[in-house]
Structure 1
Amino acid sequence: MNEKEVGELRRRFKADKSAITHVRGCYVNEKKEIVSQFNQSLALMSEEESEKLLAILRRTLSGGIDRNLIDISFATKQVAEGEEHKLLMALRDSGLGDEEAVQAFFQKAIDSLDLEGSYLILLAHDRYDVPYRAKDGETQKDASEEVYSYILCSICPVKQTKPALSFQARESRFYNRQADWLVSPPEVGFLFPAFDDRTTNLYDALYYNRDVGENHENFAQAVFASPIPMPAQAQKETFQSILGETLGEECSYDVVQAVHDQLRELVEEHKENKEEEPLMVSKGAVKCVLLSCGVSESHVNAFDSRYDDSFGAETRLSPRNLVDAKQVQVSMPDVTIKVSPEYSALVETRSINGKKYILIPAEGEVEVNGVPIHIDG
């Protein structure tokens, strides 16, 4: 799914647009025991409460594509006879009315999740009458092409607040606010089936993780039984490690800067062109950058081999997962220098009288802790 398709569904999660009539769920304590279950009708909630519940569900469709939101693909055999896919279809086709399927899913989720403390498992079903979209991008609500039926799952931690002193303005008095339990934004969740090309794709699901450093692999395997990509943060750390270890003495500031500049430019161009499909980069593209920087063929081949071992030869990665588009950071054990990418070329590395230095031209006003200083010369 791309950002436009996700955005189209996100806009559904409002009281006046959603066809969600109820939310099923269960409350799980820190011992992984189901304390209570519910089938909450949105019609019986106040408008403010239902809006907040829909907002929590909507958060499961937030974040970046290939960072927080990951496409999960099912093999043809799984769709035909896989137990995991069959369970998801039973939940969707019954509109969460298949009690056996709901209970089986709750138990599967609880057994595979490794979350600290209590949490809620929320399940919602929606039917979206997809409006026809003309070539010029305009939608025609009265010309629907299909009804997209899907389920959304949100796993939300429940955290206890601390007692506090509160002030009631209307009564002009202080009072003690007791500890309460609050529903936090989703930690993990998914959408099934996917909404690819604005139509139902039973061969895909969209998997959500709030933390880009965690992908809750056990939960994903239990629900989808399909391979999932390395977490975004792990992709970045692995890519950095591969560059540093395979290029050896040729891994200079200029080489790393060139690779990062190239990836950042791809991100900027993709954003400026407003391209719908997610941006991905191949191993070959990175190798071309390395060769253009004068890196020896032997070191490029070493990079090639390590990339295959870590990611897979044909795996394409999102540049957004590999570089920080907002800053360049140069770190030493006791010093960290952060530079805007557009000024990264000002940074130099040089050896003077046998000592290694990082040099930055001191042009314009220089401040130390907010105090303007004078530099002799």
Structure 2
Amino acid sequence: MNKKEIAEIKKQFIPNRTAVRKIAGCIIKEKEIVSTFKKDLYLYSEEEIANYMGMFQKALSGKIGKTLINLEFPTKENHPEQKELLILRNSALNDDEALFFYYEKTHANYRTEDNYLILVADGEYDIPSSKDSGFEDSESTYHYLITLLCPLTLDKESLSYNTALGQVEYHLRDWIIGNPEKAFLYPAFNDRGEDIHSMLYYSKKANDLSEDFLERMFAVTYLPDAETQKKVFDMALEEAGVTFENAVQFREIMQDIWLEENEETTDDEMLRKICERSGMQTDNFAKIMQEQGIKALYSKNLVNEKTAQIQTDDIDIKVPIVLLRLISVRRIDGQNCIVIKPNGCIRMDGVELHI
């Protein structure tokens, strides 16, 4: 899913226009399932609906490739994990046996010492034939499940004011449901339609994707976390013998891809071709990518889309991509120098300097 598709689905969790039909949940305390619940949305109060929708929206927030990860099921037919999700989705949460199996499987595979809530919602979105208008007749529907894993924490001991009795009294500690730590939307909403071979995964912490949980729970394929992607990519570029001019050309080509093609994920072959167009030696680049088992990277994890950062041991320069050509590296009097061509006057601490 791309940024626009995620935003389109996120709007379906606005309380007064939500596409959610039913909400179910399971409480895990001391590593045991202690209670379950399930109700149609219309049975909840407005305040409850608003809080639930806020939690679901939270699970669709963040940056793609960091906290939001696109996952794909293996292409082989009859993938058991995919089949389980389809059965539950198609039942609209009405198959109690399938729903409890889903709770048990999630509980068995999600490793945490905390108490938590497994929250599942069923929804059906009538996809407008025109994405720019909500008044066109729908050509198709998007039937989905969204699951949240939310921590349960005891609130602090306190005194509170009892309005009915008009007195201050001890407030019993309650279990508070926190924002989701993990979440998954199935199926994915790709090309403005359901894609049963993909799902969207949310992790509150970008550096803790819980890869082992994903493998046990869904047996899906995914990109490494953002930090690993950046580390491998930087190592591959260094092995390719990148020069300053190579780096500038690379950034300009990547910028064109973002602006013209709206590409967000770049496969290893495309990256190799971009490096080749930038004048780099691609054999070592391809070797590193292959050794690390990287077949695709999320472009915006690799470089900042708006600025470039040039560093020495002592100096840090940040420059907008559109002005990157004003900077060059030259050999002057036997020293490597960073040369900046000014557009207009030169100032220091706000004072215009005479050259």
Please, what TM-score do these two structures have when normalized by structure 1?
0.75
Match of 2:266 among 281, 284, 294: 281
Query: Could you report, residue by residue, the CA deviation over 1:190-227 in whole angstroms, capped at 9, with x for unpaired residues?
Result: 11123334443322222233444343212222232122
Q: Mark the CA change 1:341 to 1:92 in structure 2 (over 3 Å): closer, same or farther.
A: same
153-162 vs 105-114, which moves further: 153-162
Query: Could you report, residue by residue, the CA deviation over 1:277-317 in whole angstroms, capped at 9, with x for unpaired residues?
Result: x544344444444444443xxx32111222233345xx343
Match of 2:100 among 103, 111, 118: 103
Q: In percent, how many aligned pairs have the same letter?
A: 29
Match of 2:305 in 1: 325
In structure 1, runs of 5+ residues without a counterpart are 168-173
1:242 CA drift (Å): 1.0
Query: Could you report, residue by residue, the CA deviation over 1:160-209 in whole angstroms, capped at 9, with x for unpaired residues?
Result: 66679999xxxxxx999998755443232111123334443322222233
Task: Establish whether residue 257 from structure 1 lines up as the match of residue 237 from structure 2.
Answer: no
Letter in 2 for 1:185: N
1:354 CA drift (Å): 5.4
- Classify the secondary structure of the residue corresponding to 1:63: coil
In structure 2, runs of 5+ residues without a counterpart are 162-167
1:125 CA drift (Å): 0.7
Q: Mark the CA change 1:206 to 1:179 in structure 2 (over 3 Å): closer, same or farther.
A: same
1:152 CA drift (Å): 0.7
CA–CA separation in structure 1 for the residues paired with 2:125 and 2:42:
19
1:129 CA drift (Å): 3.5
Task: Establish whether residue 345 from structure 1 lines up as the match of residue 325 from structure 2.
Answer: yes
Aligned length: 347
1:54 CA drift (Å): 0.9
Query: Could you report, residue by residue, the CA deviation over 1:240-276 in whole angstroms, capped at 9, with x for unpaired residues?
Result: 11111x12xx322332232123212322334xxxx5x
User: What is the alpha-carbon root mean square deviation over aligned residues?
Assistant: 3.7
- Classify the secondary structure of the residue corresponding to 1:281: strand
The question of whether the paired residues in 1 share the 8 Å contact of 2:22 and 2:40 is answered with: yes
| 1:178-189 equivalences in 2 (<5 Å) | 182-189=176-183
Match of 2:259 in 1: 268
CA–CA separation in structure 1 for the residues paired with 2:353 and 2:160:
52
Q: Mark the CA change 1:292 to 1:126 in structure 2 (over 3 Å): closer, same or farther.
A: closer
- Classify the secondary structure of the residue corresponding to 1:16: helix
Query: Could you report, residue by residue, the CA deviation over 1:125-165 in whole angstroms, capped at 9, with x for unpaired residues?
Result: 1123444x15x955555x44444322111122345666799
CA–CA separation in structure 2 for the residues paired with 1:177 and 1:325:
50
Match of 1:92 in 2: 89
| 1:1-377 equivalences in 2 (<5 Å) | 1-29=1-29, 32-39=31-38, 42-75=41-74, 77-78=76-77, 80=78, 82-115=79-112, 117-131=114-128, 133=129, 138=133, 141=136, 143-158=137-152, 182-244=176-238, 246-247=239-240, 250-270=241-261, 278-295=263-280, 299-312=281-294, 315-332=295-312, 335-350=315-330, 356-360=336-340, 364-367=346-349, 372=350
Letter in 2 for 1:255: N
Q: Mark the CA change 1:192 to 1:358 in structure 2 (over 3 Å): closer, same or farther.
A: same
Match of 1:171 in 2: none
Match of 2:164 in 1: none
210-219 vs 228-237, which moves further: 210-219
Q: Mark the CA change 1:128 to 1:284 in structure 2 (over 3 Å): closer, same or farther.
A: closer
Q: Mark the CA change 1:261 to 1:161 in structure 2 (over 3 Å): closer, same or farther.
A: farther
The question of whether the paired residues in 2 share the 8 Å contact of 1:266 and 1:319 is answered with: no
CA–CA separation in structure 2 for the residues paired with 1:332 and 1:203:
46
Query: Could you report, residue by residue, the CA deviation over 1:324-345 in whole angstroms, capped at 9, with x for unpaired residues?
Result: 1132223445653333333333
1:123 CA drift (Å): 0.5
Letter in 1 for 2:10: R
CA–CA separation in structure 1 for the residues paired with 2:49 and 2:325:
52
1:124 CA drift (Å): 0.5
CA–CA separation in structure 2 for the residues paired with 1:120 and 1:176:
27
Please, what TM-score do these two structures have when normalized by structure 2?
0.79
- Classify the secondary structure of the residue corresponding to 2:37: strand
